[in-house]
């Protein structure tokens, strides 16, 4: 997949199917759009092109609000787009100045002028441009002016409600990993850098890698113990992740993200790993002794291995 950070690097080709959006989470509704872009491009023997933004517009336009939580980092989003078969992505640096670009100027300068376009695919609620002034009707007018066709897709409902980032965030907050993954259409993940911890885990027979989130405002699920898949250096491992304040072993002040990886004994300080959440085993809790904690972790491992065996047998 070609990833462009500068519009001047793109070679213009009118036989291009395009979609524009932040695509945070790249959930099922987003995936419907992306799949249609890829489908149109193949049918017309043209190229597929996604335009997205970094940082997320809300991080710029609401920079005084500290609790803007995102479902995907730009690297995670790009991996998902590549997996979906997208050939080209333009990542536009979103700034306050860029936010003042009106709808017509954006399409004239970037989409029609620099990339070229035959078909545009949008979601049912797509709005864009300065103050989100661009509507579906605006796009149809621009299509008439620049010679491209606009395709608007219907919303996707699951259990009678539209799929949305808000709904996924709530499922994650409640620890409902399977529900969140069902709405996403893929495993919920995060990228983390391995950092030094206090090495308490190894004293109780469960050494862990301690992680610093690549993006601090990444949405994390509710506190507790999770069965996870770990991707390191292109290889998959399984393990258990603890996400919480460690009320039994510490003061319960500093949040921890730590993973005990099965059959893994490497020093990977400073390296990046990806963690996929598979299911929540239990919530966080304080135990009266270290022995009680170890007994519970033993049970967590047993439950994790059963879940992994079930996955492989399905």
- pLDDT value at residue 131: 53
- pLDDT value at residue 4: 97
pLDDT digits (tens, 9 = 90+) for 46-72: 999 999 999 998 888 876 455 688 999
**Residue closest to 208 by CA, chosen among 251, 250, 242:** 242
- pLDDT value at residue 285: 85
- pLDDT value at residue 65: 52
CA 302: distance to chain centroid?
A: 29
CB 236 within 8 A of CB 230: yes
- pLDDT value at residue 9: 96
Rounded to two decimals, the pTM is 0.90
The Cα–Cα gap between 73 and 190 comes to: 8
- pLDDT value at residue 213: 94
Per the DSSP assignment, residues forming a β-bridge with 190 are: 275
- pLDDT value at residue 183: 97
Residues of the chain whose pLDDT is less than 50? 64
- pLDDT value at residue 133: 60
Query: SS3 of 94, please?
Result: coil
The Cα–Cα gap between 16 and 11 comes to: 11
**Check: CATH 2.40.30.30 for 188-313?**
yes
Q: How is the chain split into domains, by residue range?
A: 2-158, 188-313
**Check: CATH 3.20.20.70 for 2-158?**
no
Domains 2-158 and 188-313 share a fold: no
Place of tokens 């950092």: 195
Beta strands at 188-195 and 209-213: parallel, antiparallel or unpaired: antiparallel
């Amino acid at each position: 997949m070609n990833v462009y950070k500068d519009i001047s690097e793109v070679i213009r080709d009118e036989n291009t199917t395009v979609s524009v959006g932040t695509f945070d989470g790249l959930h099922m509704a987003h995936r419907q759009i992306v799949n249609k872009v890829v489908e149109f491009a193949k049918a017309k023997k043209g190229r597929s092109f996604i335009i997205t933004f970094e940082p997320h517009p809300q991080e710029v336009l609401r920079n005084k609000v500290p609790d803007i939580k995102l479902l995907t980092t730009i690297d995670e989003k790009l991996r998902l787009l590549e997996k979906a078969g997208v050939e080209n992505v333009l990542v536009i640096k979103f700034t306050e100045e860029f936010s003042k670009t009106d709808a017509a100027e954006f399409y004239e300068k970037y989409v029609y002028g620099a990339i070229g376009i035959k078909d545009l695919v949008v979601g049912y609620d797509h709005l864009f441009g300065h103050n989100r002034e661009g509507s579906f009707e605006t796009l149809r007018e621009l299509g008439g002016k620049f010679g491209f066709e606009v395709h608007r897709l219907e919303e996707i409902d699951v259990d009678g409600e539209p799929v949305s980032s808000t709904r996924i965030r709530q499922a994650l907050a409640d620890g409902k990993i399977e529900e969140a993954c069902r709405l996403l259409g893929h495993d919920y993940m995060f990228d983390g850098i391995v950092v030094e911890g206090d090495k308490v885990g190894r004293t109780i027979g469960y050494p862990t890698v301690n992680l610093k989130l690549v993006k601090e405002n990444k949405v994390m699920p509710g506190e507790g113990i999770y069965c996870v898949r770990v991707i390191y250096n292109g290889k998959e491992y399984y393990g258990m992740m603890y996400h919480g304040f460690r009320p039994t072993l510490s003061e319960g002040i500093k949040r921890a993200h730590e993973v005990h990886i099965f059959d893994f004994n490497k020093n990977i300080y400073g390296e990046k790993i990806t963690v996929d959440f598979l299911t929540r085993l239990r919530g966080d809790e304080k135990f009266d002794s270290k022995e009680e904690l170890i007994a519970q972790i033993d049970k967590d491992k047993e439950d994790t291995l059963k879940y992994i065996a079930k996955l492989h047998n399905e």
